[in-house]
Amino acid sequence: MKRYILCWAFLTGLLLSAPVSLQAQSDARTRSRLEMGRAAPNTIATNRSTGSSFSTARKLPFLSAPASTGLDRTVSLNKTSAINAYYRSLLLAPAPSAPVVKVASRTVQPETTAVTTPAETRPAVEESLRTERMQEDRLFANDRIVVSNVYPNPASEYAEIDYQITAPVGEARIIVSDILGSPIAEYTLEANDRKVRITTRDFATGMYFYRLSLDGKKVATKKLLVQHR
């Protein structure tokens, strides 16, 4: 490999030195002897410098100066002026206008509140309390008959039961029995009446039961206390 490189370098040196020798011969033909004698030292110096440069370039090719191109230009930019111009444009720019929000307005009409007097509210309150008491004090109720609980309870001389028949029910009875279940008294509920009274004057003090019977069927049973004063 080294042999090839040396051969290539030798041939390159011959090719480069050939034009110099030819130029020297042409100069020798055209000039006189005196001019040749004067120019000889310069030519020899030139040849020596050329040969040394060729030999240096041949030995160290990386030392050869690169060819300058037209793109090697220094570009100078004034950064301060560009920054000043940018912030000046921001300061002089008009501020964005705030969006206009339209609020829909509507007329509010005053609410009228009905004011009721105590005289007007008292009957309604009493009626509602009576209805609630009847619902809580019911012994039995359906679409044909409504029967209340016995009162007063405990009873002393007598006790009463309110009822209302709104449709034919056949046979409706209140049966009073002792604690063992033996019947003591029996009362029929008439359609044209609203109340039945149970006489407890002759009952011994103690606990009894009263039940409602419709068409021979027991539908409701509750306790009755008798306490003589």
Question: Hey, how many other C-beta atoms are within 10 angstroms of the C-beta on 134?
Answer: 15
Question: Whole-angstrom Cα distance, residue 159 to residue 141?
Answer: 20
User: In this predicted structure, what is the pLDDT of residue 172?
Assistant: 95
Average pLDDT over residues 127-132: 64
DSSP string for the chain: -HHHHHHHHHHHHHHHHHHHHHHHHHHHHHS-HHHHHHHHHHHHHHHHHHHHHHHHHHH-GGGSPPPP-TT-------HHHHHHHHHHHHHHSPPPPPPPPPPPP-PPPPPP-----HHHHHHHHHHHHHHHHHHHTEEEE-SSEEEEPPBSSSBSSEEEEEEEE-S--S-EEEEEE-TTS-EEEEEE--TT--EEEEE-TTSPSEEEEEEEEETTEEEEEEEEEE---
User: In this predicted structure, what is the pLDDT of residue 9?
Assistant: 76
User: In this predicted structure, what is the pLDDT of residue 163?
Assistant: 95
| Sequence letter at residue 166 | T
Question: Hey, how many other C-beta atoms are within 10 angstroms of the C-beta on 226?
Answer: 20
Give CA angle at 226 (224, 227), nearest 5°: 145
Q: Which residue matches tokens 């609410």? A: 111
The pair of three-digit structure tokens given for residue 134, joined into one six-digit string: 């009847």
More confident of the two residues 107 and 64: 107
Which residues is 174 bridged to in the sheet? 187, 212
Confidence of residue 229 (pLDDT cuts 50, 70, 90): confident
Question: Whole-angstrom Cα distance, residue 162 to residue 151?
Answer: 9
pLDDT at residue 104 tops 90: no
More confident of the two residues 119 and 186: 186
User: Spelled out in words, what is the top-level CATH class assigned to the domain 137-226?
Assistant: mainly beta
Question: Whole-angstrom Cα distance, residue 204 to residue 218?
Answer: 25
Percent of the chain residues topping a pLDDT of 70: 50
pTM exceeding 0.85: no
**Domain edges within the chain:** 2-57, 137-226
* Least reliable range by pLDDT among 82-96, 109-123, 157-171: 109-123
pLDDT digits (tens, 9 = 90+) for 14-59: 776 655 554 545 555 555 554 545 544 454 445 454 555 545 445 5
Percent of the chain residues topping a pLDDT of 90: 37
Query: Which residues contact residue 185 at a Cβ distance below 8 angstroms, ignoring those fewer than 6 apart?
Result: 175, 176, 198, 199
pLDDT at residue 108 tops 80: no
